[in-house]
Structure 1
């Protein structure tokens, strides 16, 4: 089981005028903020961030004799709204059905999805947690299995295929002059060029089940996979003038996957367990605008993963290029929220 994320980069330069005029319109000074020569901590504001991205999870299985199965959800663009304050970031992800590529249910079937993200970014320690649930997939390479299939005809659908995932990450940022918040949650502004190594651990759990209430289904499978990886990331932010910045990052990781596969037959169940190594490489390139009140930008992410599956009887390999476009605005923090977060911050040793 592999994650695959494919889409074309959407340009965000149409936002430039909005950002530039917003900078002129908003000149008020922030209250009770902290700053240094490298980082401006915008801690008197809570920001709301809206983004569109193409990080879509799908499954590519490649085996001998050019055998492949490309199973995808009927989603081209996802959306997410985030609420960020100080070290806390919480977001809700959903699938906007009105967008092109998300509403052709007659051809590819119906996909429903939902996600939650929680990120805690302290001065050095970084903790991320993510939950997602997706139901409804289709076979992208239907023609390989139905030679008479033509473009425009319905694909082979898997309406009962569901995927639940829990993903986590724990990292440590070495350089205090580099702001990870400035490029991820925008609760800070990077004032001078800086970069940092951020090594950490990645741990993921995936539950994939195609069980159906259809009486014609004679067998089904449930796969539970655990992934543990050591990640060594490096990020760098180059500060441009007039609140613009460019960021880049490279993140190689190495780990192992454990899979528990349950196959259900009328005569009984068969359980198989196996493990295999995983090798991944992630790359990040971004351009953004970050002022006192408004912010926005775009990112491109490249992703490559390789692993041998089940004693090399099947190989899974993925190459991806995804985009993200985001825009946000900062509001004055409600007193009750500021008081609550301040109390939490006092209790945390981080």
Structure 2
């Protein structure tokens, strides 16, 4: 009952934030139309495809056992995106037909789904997501099995599953800088600009695993973090840009671990870090580019384990903008709330 209420609370957070954004944006002036710094494409219906190599790793450094490197066996992700007006939707999957996702015999079966919604109320940036991962293997199996050699099956945790509900809310401080130009390409930066972006993040994660001795382990985790990022969009030429970024954050992690009926509760202080670089090409209809990115967290638990979770991403994206159907345009015009109006 408690966890059901907690999950409902976490999922309700973005609604309260968007209600606040409603009133915030009613007073703000915006950048959803063309300006000298930004060109807007929010009146276009945009379809995008991202093809990326995601390396999601969990690192545990135990003073007694040693270094433990846990990863999923689905490094290549396919993300489909749809953007119109103030709304951005995306679905991420790891199909088995992609190279690098099909070596189940050596690394075990893994599955991945990621669903995201982004809205842009004025200078606010609101994200809500659901992510599910199942099936992990030990990258450094040779450290635990001395007889292991390349080509042998890795140590595997096929039933280890992670489900996360979460979101983030950020504020772009520089009104002449477009974060949308980097996140979903609904805008294009015409003049080189940068901005600090303060952000809060909130996540609820449920991790479960069935062990070989038929015991069942479950961990419920709540993460709350406050951070800031700096993004700079350098306009190399009228159709080319380069955009580096740096991010840091800090906040508490609350954990409740249950194994065979025994419950252990802990709380930790977590540091967050990230960096990225994006190269893009843009026309009024066609756009493409590449992204290199690292997002990670690190903390030390009560058993002196140094625990890190790093997501390394290399992405190629391509997309096309076209005129929206009249019925879609009319629907948004009739029902668009204040959060979609210019800031």
Distance 2:232 2:334 in 1: 32
| Within-5 A mapping of 1:270-349 | 270-310=262-302, 312-317=303-308, 321-348=312-339
Deviation at 1:112, TM superposition (A): 1.6
Deviation at 1:349, TM superposition (A): 7.9
Distance 1:319 1:73 in 2: 12
Stretches of structure 2 lacking an aligned partner (at least 5 in a row): 1-31
Q: Which residue of 2 aligns with 1:89?
A: 88
Q: Which residue of 2 aligns with 1:14?
A: none
| Within-5 A mapping of 1:210-289 | 210-211=209-210, 217-264=213-260, 269-289=261-281
Q: Which string of whole-angstrom CA distances, capped at 9 and with x for unpartnered residues, describes residues 139-176 of structure 1?
A: 22222222111110111222211111112101111111
Distance 1:343 1:186 in 2: 25
Larger mean CA deviation between 102-111 and 312-321 belongs to 312-321
Q: Which string of whole-angstrom CA distances, capped at 9 and with x for unpartnered residues, describes residues 262-287 of structure 1?
A: 012xxxx1000000101122112111
Distance 2:121 2:54 in 1: 26
Q: TM-score, normalised by structure 1?
A: 0.84
Deviation at 1:319, TM superposition (A): 5.6
Aligned residues: 310
**Contact persistence 1:123–1:176 (CA under 8 A):** no
Distance 1:276 1:40 in 2: 43
Larger mean CA deviation between 55-64 and 330-339 belongs to 55-64
Does the residue aligned with 1:57 lie in a helix, a strand or coil? strand
Give the direction of change, closer, same or farther, for the CA distance of 1:225–1:56 in structure 2 (3 Å limit).
Answer: farther
Does the residue aligned with 1:100 lie in a helix, a strand or coil? coil
Give the direction of change, closer, same or farther, for the CA distance of 1:347–1:87 in structure 2 (3 Å limit).
Answer: closer
Distance 1:66 1:322 in 2: 29
| Within-5 A mapping of 1:1-350 | 34-65=33-64, 67-211=66-210, 217-264=213-260, 269-310=261-302, 312-317=303-308, 321-348=312-339
Question: Structure 1 residue runs of 4+, over 6 Å off?
Answer: none
Stretches of structure 1 lacking an aligned partner (at least 5 in a row): 1-32
Does the residue aligned with 2:42 lie in a helix, a strand or coil? coil
Does the residue aligned with 2:56 lie in a helix, a strand or coil? coil
Q: TM-score, normalised by structure 2?
A: 0.85
Does the residue aligned with 1:98 lie in a helix, a strand or coil? coil
Deviation at 1:347, TM superposition (A): 4.4
Q: Which string of whole-angstrom CA distances, capped at 9 and with x for unpartnered residues, describes residues 119-156 of structure 1?
A: 11232111001111122222222222221111101112
**Contact persistence 2:57–2:311 (CA under 8 A):** no
Does the residue aligned with 2:185 lie in a helix, a strand or coil? coil
Distance 2:340 2:131 in 1: 30
Deviation at 1:223, TM superposition (A): 0.9
Does the residue aligned with 2:237 lie in a helix, a strand or coil? coil
Give the direction of change, closer, same or farther, for the CA distance of 1:134–1:67 in structure 2 (3 Å limit).
Answer: same
